[in-house]
Structure 1
């Protein structure tokens, strides 16, 4: 039994093994946060973090000058459906133009699948938006998980991994991947600052988005290794 396990581990590439472990950790985090979302009363860390973005005793008065509020609204727009659809469409068209249809299909499945999954999860948990502080933007959908956080993670991390394949050296690959993570973090944080999501909504969105993006990457890698999918040069 031990020898068979050792053989399996020897055959499995380290990036694949690491990706599997990260997916498991992200899913575990999402399940734990789902329990927080389903609780009758908001968790202490949710209320404390949400109020930390407001002046003490003034839940309708966000920290920072007026220009900061405008800047945060601009940042949160990077995770809006309109912007993500535009970016995804542009990427898909570019991949088709350079004759990489499998990569274009991968991008479409990753983002469209993430959108469907986000909508289903919102309906499953059915958590209302926070009413502890004022909302700086209008939102009408359910709160858990944060669609902006989840779809930003899916889209920008997928874009980052795709871009890294075409870059010449490790430094530029790391830069692009770090930039993708930074944008994802900023978008999620902006949702809490604007008062339209509990922090647990955003954390859950990051967990679900990261797990989905990594799962899509694993599937694409498996298909390419087995020659089921191959891009045209």
Structure 2
């Protein structure tokens, strides 16, 4: 009995701890940006990553970065949510829509708040709007992270869960890398996007668990 109680306690404590950690990380990047302490780091990473530029690699990078565009993530979120609704997983559909839709609005609000201009070093594609935090990085972390969380909960089989999580993690990292390679974001934009995206996703997961608990408790009362 003690073991069963300990597992949820450790799990929820870990979620909250990581939420605080990623929130702290985001504000550390903001503080370094305001104090102009991150310029040397940004330039060093950009110089290294853009030394890899060649035509064939650029085409692949554009293809990867498009898998975190607003258009793709919106369409993919709608398709996945519809699939969940058809399977009568209404709570999961609401979680997925809320995490991604509100997360996107949150990113737009942060961009307007900081108004950081994009780097003008070697842009390989055209990209409008402000730079900080990276919308592709934040959006990919929320979308692929939420998808990984759902696969962990809904799929049966340890290997299926592990492969899904590994694929999601690789996709998130690759998207962040493409934004630097293509010259449309500073590395600090990407780190900030990952950090606040992770914090938002963890918050949504905690709210999902709380709603799930309240709903199950209500059903238990109704059946008794």
Distance 1:110 1:228, change over 3 A: farther
- Distance between the aligned counterparts of 2:196 and 2:50, measured in 1? 28
When the two structures are aligned, how many residues end up with a matched partner?
A: 215
The offset of 1:135, in angstroms, is 0.6
Q: 1:138 aligns with which of 115, 120, 126?
A: 126
Q: 2:162 aligns with which of 154, 162, 174?
A: 174
CA contact (8 A) 1:102 1:230 kept: no
1:17 partnered with 2:13: yes
Partner of 2:82: 93
* TM-score, normalization by structure 1: 0.87
Distance 1:229 1:93, change over 3 A: farther
* TM-score, normalization by structure 2: 0.90
Partner of 1:79: 68
The offset of 1:230, in angstroms, is 9.0
- Distance between the aligned counterparts of 1:171 and 1:116, measured in 2? 34
Partner of 2:193: 205
The offset of 1:119, in angstroms, is 0.5
Q: Deviations over 1:139-172 (max 9, x none)?
A: 1110000000001000110011112222112222
Unaligned stretches of 5+ in structure 2?
220-224
Matched residue SS, 1:124:
helix
CA contact (8 A) 2:53 2:181 kept: no
Q: Deviations over 1:116-148 (max 9, x none)?
A: 1101111111110012x1111101110000000
Matched residue SS, 1:143:
coil
CA contact (8 A) 1:36 1:43 kept: no
Matched residue SS, 2:127:
coil
1:224 partnered with 2:212: yes
Distance 1:21 1:203, change over 3 A: same
CA contact (8 A) 1:37 1:125 kept: no
Distance 1:130 1:39, change over 3 A: farther
Distance 1:206 1:142, change over 3 A: same
- Distance between the aligned counterparts of 1:50 and 1:35, measured in 2? 20
Mean alpha-carbon deviation: is it higher for 166-175 or for 85-94? 166-175
